[in-house]
């Protein structure tokens, strides 16, 4: 599929071309939204809103080859909007999802570690280590240079290692 041609057709009002583009990037949109949001329902809401906004504003996209980055940026903005709305509402704690690991504790420990990091650190680590994004893909999605992404990833990894070390020290101090 030639993305640029499909984008040009979609900008001229071709609904089928727009649908083709959305189908092409639906899993990527989900992976990005799942990195930011925890619940699948919230991811679906963010993606739905992003698709509507993209459809109505595709005429503003100047360079067709930036469609993917543009679309993912809209998805991220919708995810952040959902987070802002949720902060205004007190929510009950959700039960952890069933683990995909043989040892269910590993999944819980990873989630706990990520929840103790800043949102940006958690997002960078999730995109790279859990969602298997490349540095280049992360740079496109986060709209920043690759070297900046590498620096953020290195710093987030260092902070995560410190967090693990502190947790181990605390646990060994309480078990003595």
pLDDT in tens, 91-101: 434 434 444 44
Radius of gyration of the chain (CA): 19
Same domain, 2 and 88: yes
Task: Please give the residue that has the higher pLDDT: either 52 or 162.
Answer: 52
Whole-number pLDDT of residue 62:
87
d(CA 57, CA 21): 14
* Least confidently predicted of 14-28, 65-79, 107-121, 146-160: 107-121
In terms of residue numbers, what domain contains 135?
A: 99-176
Beta-carbon count within 10 A of 166 CB = 11
What are the pLDDT digits (tens) for 35-76?
A: 888 889 999 999 999 999 999 999 998 899 899 999 999 999
Same domain, 48 and 135: no
Same domain, 127 and 40: no
pLDDT averaged over every residue in the chain: 83
Whole-number pLDDT of residue 100:
45
As given in the structure block, the two tokens for residue 176 are 């003595």
Same domain, 110 and 80: no
Whole-number pLDDT of residue 50:
96
Same domain, 176 and 153: yes
With a cut of 90, say whether residue 171 has pLDDT above it.
no
Q: Which of 79, 94, 109 is the last residue of a domain?
A: 94
Residue 3 in contact with residue 65, Cβ under 8 Å?
yes
pLDDT band at 161; cut points 50, 70, 90: confident
Please list, in sequence order, all residues whose beta carbon lies within 8 angstroms of the beta carbon of residue 148, skipping any fewer than 6 positions away.
139
Q: Concatenate the DSSP letters of all residues of 134-168 into one string.
A: -HHHHHHHHTS-HHHHHHHHHHHHHHHHHHHHHHH
Residue with tokens 């958690």: 122
Percent of the chain's residues with pLDDT above 90: 41
Same domain, 74 and 113: no
Neighbour-count burial of 2, counting CB atoms closer than 10 A to its CB (0-12 exposed, 13-18 middle, 19+ buried): exposed
Beta-carbon count within 10 A of 56 CB = 9
Whole-number pLDDT of residue 150:
93
Whole-number pLDDT of residue 88:
57
Domain count along the chain: 2
- What CATH number has the domain bearing residue 123? 1.10.10.10
Percent of the chain's residues with pLDDT above 70: 84
């Amino acid at each position: 599929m030639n993305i640029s041609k499909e984008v040009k057709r979609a900008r001229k009002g071709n609904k089928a071309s727009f649908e083709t583009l959305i189908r092409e990037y639906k899993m990527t949109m989900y992976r990005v939204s799942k990195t930011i949001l925890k619940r699948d329902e919230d991811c679906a809401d963010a993606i739905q809103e992003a698709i509507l906004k993209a459809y109505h504003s595709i005429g503003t996209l100047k360079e067709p080859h930036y469609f993917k980055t543009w679309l993912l940026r809209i998805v991220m903005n919708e995810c952040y909007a959902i987070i802002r709305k949720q902060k205004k509402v007190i929510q009950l704690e959700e039960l952890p999802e069933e683990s995909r690991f043989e040892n269910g504790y590993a999944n819980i420990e990873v989630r706990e570690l990520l929840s103790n990091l800043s949102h940006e650190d958690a997002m960078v680590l999730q995109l790279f280590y859990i969602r298997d994004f490349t540095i280049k893909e992360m740079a496109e999605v986060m709209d920043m240079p690759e070297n900046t992404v590498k620096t953020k990833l290195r710093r987030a990894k260092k902070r995560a290692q410190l967090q693990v070390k502190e947790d181990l020290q605390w646990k060994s101090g309480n078990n003595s």
